[in-house]
Amino acid sequence: MIEFKNVSKTYEDTGVQALNDVSFFIDKGEFVFLVGPSGAGKSTLTKLLIKEETPNSGEITINGFDLNSLPKNKTPYLRRSIGMVFQDFRLLPNKTVYENVAFAMQVIGASRSEIRRNVPNVLSLVGLAHKARMKPSQLSGGEQQRVSLARALVNKPPVIIADEPTGNLDPDTANEIMQLLVEINKRGTTMIVATHAKNFVDEMHRRVLAIENGVLVRDEEEGTYGYDI
């Protein structure tokens, strides 16, 4: 499903080695936490997965795509198979909730009938069907994150990558979002969650990949956060 083989990445402009000889395999349907100190290499890893960056060495495979040999014009097909959830939501402020989610379908050329069918379904899944006509500014932070999650889900990707999805939320709302991620994972979606939320990692007993100074230092089946915060 997702495989890194001896992947290294150094940024030429700064000389910083963000990842050093990283290898792991994530199977279909797994729920994996990606943890580590700030600057450890987590963001670089997620950028490599969606081909925003390319490795200096090693091999990356995701959803059947060999990223080393993937032509630039095929990159959009890779990204359609991955849903991204961001800490800062990245919603379009002038569009409604419905339009924000529909936009993710429009950019891949979905038909109007597909959009009319799928968008209400995914808004119901995240509990926002009743706020479809509101703008992001009219929503709470937790509701905006639910819109971001709906947008990531609407094209039914086999993989979702959530980058600090609870970072800007109060504890109760953060718990609701994490439980939504769990429910989505139960439906078969592979889930990778980069987080500093020690409480969730320690309580949920899921697989943990820990990165320090660009090196994969732990790969635990039912791991813990493992750092003081």
Confidence of residue 168 (pLDDT cuts 50, 70, 90): confident
> For strand 57-62 and strand 2-10, is the pairing parallel, antiparallel, or unpaired?
antiparallel
3-state DSSP: the chain helix, strand, coil percent, rounded to 5? 35, 25, 40
**Does residue 85 have a pLDDT over 90?**
yes
Each residue's pLDDT tens digit, 24-36: 999 999 999 999 9
Instruction: Name the residue among 82, 88, 37, 35 with its Cα closest to residue 60.
Output: 82
pLDDT single digits (tens) 91-142: 999 999 999 999 999 998 899 999 999 999 999 999 999 999 999 999 999 9
Structural tokens at position 116: 């009319």
Q: Containing H/E element for 57?
A: strand 57-62
Cβ atoms of 160 and 104 closer than 8 Å: no
Distance CA 97, CA 128 (A): 8
d(C-alpha 105, C-alpha 118), whole Å: 9
Tokens representing residue 207 in the block:
């697989």
pLDDT at 229: 63
| pLDDT (0 to 100) of residue 227 | 86
Contact status, residue 188 vs residue 200, Cβ threshold 8 Å = no
- Measure the CA dihedral 205/158/169/211, to 10°: 60
Average pLDDT of 17-22? 97
Rounded to whole angstroms, the Cα distance separating 34 from 225 reads: 9
Task: Give 39-60 pLDDT, tens digit per residue.
Answer: 899 999 999 999 999 999 999 9
**Domain residue ranges of the chain, discontinuous segments joined by +:** 91-156
Rounded to 5°, the CA angle 164-42-144 comes to 20
Do the bridges between strand 159-163 and strand 207-212 make them parallel or antiparallel, or are there none, so unpaired? unpaired
- Comparing CA positions, the residue from 81, 68, 78 lying closest to residue 7 is 68
Within 8 A by CB and 6+ apart from 207, the residues are 30, 31, 32, 33, 219, 220, 221, 222, 223
Taking a C-beta distance cutoff of 8 angstroms, is the pair 203, 33 a contact? Answer: no
